[in-house]
Structure 1
């Protein structure tokens, strides 16, 4: 009996020893000395917001005050492949980057990569916006408001051409444009002959971001326009930053057209940016392959109808690029000036002094 009691005490001792060891092990795992998750907000820091093509932009990811770059993922918008934390661009344009760490992510932040042109920098890029509208359309003034807000926030980034359909302002190509871009609801916008957007402020802003980011302006366009004896002469000077085959398109829009029977842009029966006429084919005139650094001139001469109020008219000239399929063309850059007595010079993207 005594031996049995001693045996039981021995088993209890072993059990207590093992339990203590296990608890000690648990305590050690929870002491926070190793493997603890950093606290705080995830943020992405970049060595530069502007950089020349070929320069390196370094990304650092922080969780609170802890550098977690080694275990984070850097994503570029539109690219499923993770980026290196030391990113080097091979072409100009704006890229958007975000960081992902565990279940946290940052918002996308822009970095603009530019190619200096001579001593002045990258050409300023203006996106052409075809706004499909009609005087009968009660929702259309809202898009006019949205595009106006974009112009306030990013001056000069858009050239709006209002394509009216089914009303007194419809042009001879309105229905053709509606069919080509498969417009089934109004209002609608098409950016640079490429991206179609419905009446949504966020989508309009996103479309403009995409157009500005996808590729830089491959040329700059300076204009001088005058009307004499009922005939307009628009002289365009083109500076080429990148060798490419170009087409040039010319069109005229008019502001302040009045019609009392519809939903006007400003609520006062006035309509703005109304497409009056394409001076060229809407796909432009082929001006051939041009070399980087080349500068050339092209002139558009056309009659000005009496019903146009020339003081309210603006002429658009824009460059189109032929795509790889040999048929599709997209707008690359746009310039505008007053039809009578107007001028516009070459514009360049602002490059901060801090840019490397």
Structure 2
């Protein structure tokens, strides 16, 4: 129990470690994505107290202090952030929660000899009050992040849901998720059997050389970004460029998360526009509205979605029948929709359609069987 708590604490305060010295205003950036001529970046500017307490670095007390600092930080609205990607510069303004979103058309294409590039950030305004802005850089308020750009010969984009598709439900419930991630061999119990091998196969392709973009979307809040990254690393799931979460908008006046029913559809449509020459593979589950959302995407963008994979988690015959009707519908647009309870069945279908190798199918099946033997209760 003590080891689990300490491990949880380490991950929970990880973003604070590099920000301990600055105090005050902080730019927290997330990994970006894009093409050689256009990139997208997301980040947040927030204020956190210094709490200059005399604690030994990397001690339990210092972690607890950092956790308090993270818990009481707040986003700063209406401040300007300068972003540089190579020789291209732009300035964006934070929203009411301190977040900024940048869609940058580059002056010069990014080099084609690598997939990871860098963006640099600098805070320009000195106050969150628009009436007292000072157009100067704030000392220490800088950051950088990586940007993923697919290689020139990539053939597909994969977008996957997270909740009940990659991992058991719990992303939207922080306490449940923390428990599953850090206690009782959680790294083996949270991911569905075979997910790691199947997703690695999709990322690499049948020839092992594709390096396809793996984009993940969740209804969870941005505040669990680092925890999700740790989950992906623990379970050997290719994290791809980014995780797409959302701002819950929690306030004293509105203590419940804001609804964002079009969050996933908006993301997919943005990706279809960015990677306009590539077909897409969409992965979701039967528990919510993934099949309906994906079928609507096929209707709106005929010919762009090649395969849809749905993990059957509903255990409801009527739900399964409704999804099979959607499968018949999308098949008329040269798209296949596959419904299955296990990753091995999905991988077998993907192999038949040239998306993954035969070894991926074998590894997915072996991984699933091994995981089920270890945890038959799952």
Q: TM-score, normalised by structure 2?
A: 0.22
Larger helix percent:
2
Q: TM-score, normalised by structure 1?
A: 0.23
Larger strand percent:
1
Higher Rg: 1
